[in-house]
Amino acid sequence: MDSLEDLQIERLTVRIDRSICVGFETCVDTAPFLFQMDREGIAVFAAAAPDAPVDLVLESCGSCPVDALSVLDESGGQLVP
C-alpha cells in the first residue's frame, strides 16, 4: 500500500501519510465518520468520508500529534497542519 492516501472533500484534499501515523486515534475520536484504524493501527479513510463537514475535517486533521494528516486547498496550499 502506498504511504500517502488522498481524498477529495468539497474543494479540499485530505491526505494521510501512513508512513508517519503511529495510531494515536485522535482523528478517529474527532471524526469517526472520516477516519478509522486499519488492522495495523494506522489511519485510513472511512467509507462515508466524502460527506464529511469541512470544519470537522480541519479539526480532526489538526488534532494529529505527529502531523500525519494534512489538508490542502484547491491550489495545493497547505491549510493543516
Task: For 8-36, write each residue's pLDDT tens digit.
Answer: 998 999 999 999 999 999 999 999 999 99
To which H or E segment does residue 16 belong? strand 12-17
Q: Residue 40 to residues 8, 14, 22, 62: CA-CA distances in angstroms?
A: 24, 21, 10, 22
What CA–CA distance (Å, rounded) separates 58 from 34?
A: 11
What CA–CA distance (Å, rounded) separates 51 from 3?
A: 23
- Amino acid at residue number 73: D
Q: How is the chain split into domains, by residue range?
A: 4-75
Query: What's the pTM?
Result: 0.91
- CATH code for 4-75? 3.30.70.20
Instruction: Tell me the three cell numbers of residue 71.
Output: 489538508
